[in-house]
Chains A and B, each alone.
Chain A
């Protein structure tokens, strides 16, 4: 039996009819066409499918869509809603050369956002711990850590200027 769910994705409300066996990943990619969300291992190990659900980084491949009822979902598309002006985290990934094939990038950036929302000035160890559920098979971790560290710096500078 299909279930009709209402969820908020990147600030927009959606009502979708889903089968209980559909994961949030399938619904985001296939029903809402948000293909920035990737599907890697499908078993919660690689982090490519990471999205924020009510502010928490979760694996969309292990979340049932039916359980996303009433939740706020943020995907990588929501980081740069205009489609032109990128988020600071995305700009730093580009500037620091933290992207190789790009498959892990969306998940890495969502994990980075989850970390920086909770801890605006993380140490290198804290960044590495926060990324322990995100795998990059191009082996580019050093530059990813650098990118997140300098994104943190820029976000802190910006919030100081705004005060």
Chain B
């Protein structure tokens, strides 16, 4: 399994990278960690004539945390760096957990969180929790800079809202609201390494015992991670009892659009959406309760 021939460019600035994307045509591919792209190239699924690596752009791997602005994850920040970053572990524990759940040690030392998003796999580990936490994609292109909520970024398997020659330079994740909790769970046949069969992530905000706001996202059960709006409605404005959590799970299962493939059957996925939804809701609620001042 050798790679077919290609030209390689390692621009030093984002504007240089944008110019290269424009001049090399639509088949040129942008690369961060390369763990997905190089594998697809080895299997012959894509044959780009030109690779543009972002790893030589100084500062693009930065992870920054600010009390008011929140967290910014640069495009080339490694999955392992996000999984182990002290500010992320403290203020965004579920973001760290999702990064840590991605692939294996070696891939986490090469691959990036932003690359995992741009790859736009519906089964990817990182999108659901970032969508639940209202993350915003930072984009730069020939038309300048723009920002897009992550829940508007995915358009289908492998397809994003990026326009030609646009580059995702980073991801901004706002601070978690006071009295909020987050959770993410996924299931796969082997438990590590392999692609997920189902995933669910949630951010839930409490007022007393009442669930004031909730954002639930289900992955690997549709062309993109899906928002569980009916399940959210079931929970919003209520106390999260066992009964409400079970009803929300049933709604999320109803809303999901799973298919049968080598990772799991549609029936299994539907049942597991209900189970994982229940689980993440209860876990996030517990986290929100313990974060409230007594």
Q: Which A residues contact B (CB, under 8 angstroms)?
A: 1, 3, 19-23, 26, 42-45, 47, 50, 53, 56-59, 62-64, 66-67, 111, 114, 129-130, 132-133
Contacts and interface: CB of A to CB of B under 8 A. Distances in A.
B112 to A, nearest CB: 13
Contacts of A22: 3
Contacts of A132: 104-105, 192-193
Given A3-B8, A20-B7, A21-B2, A133 B107 contact: yes
Contacts, number: 81
B55 A67 contact: yes
Given A43-B42, A62-B39, A21 B104 contact: no
Interface string B1-22: 1111111101000000000000
Nearest to B41: A21
Given A21-B2, A133-B193, A59 B106 contact: yes
A59 B110 contact: yes
A60 B80 CA distance: 17
Contacts of B107: 44, 59, 62, 133
B169 interface: no
A64 B192 CA distance: 25
Contact of A43 (B2, B6, B39, B53): B39
B7 A57 contact: no
Given A22-B3, A44-B39, 7 more contacts: A1-B7, A23-B3, A44-B104, A62-B39, A62-B110, A66-B10, A67-B10
12 contacts: A20-B8, A23-B3, A42-B42, A44-B39, A44-B107, A47-B106, A57-B105, A57-B109, A58-B109, A59-B35, A59-B110, A132-B192
B139 to A, nearest CB: 24
A50 B107 CA distance: 10
B40 to A, nearest CB: 10
Given A21-B4, A45-B193, A58 B38 contact: no
B5 A19 contact: yes
Contact of A58 (B5, B7, B106): B106
B198 to A, nearest CB: 20
A19 B5 CA distance: 8
A84 to B, nearest CB: 29
Contacts of B10: 66-67
A25 to B, nearest CB: 11
Interface residues of B, number: 28
B87 to A, nearest CB: 19
Given A59-B106, A63-B110, A133-B104, A43 B1 contact: yes
Contacts of A20: 5-8, 51
B103 interface: yes
Q: Which of A3, A19, A45 has the most CB of B within 10 A?
A: A45
B8 A64 contact: yes
Nearest to B100: A129
A67 to B, nearest CB: 6
B7 to A, nearest CB: 7
Given A21-B2, A64-B8, A64-B34, A44 B55 contact: no
A2 B39 CA distance: 22
A47 B104 contact: yes
A111 to B, nearest CB: 6
B38 A64 contact: yes
Given A23-B3, A62-B34, A132-B192, A44 B8 contact: no
Interface string B44-59: 0000000101010000
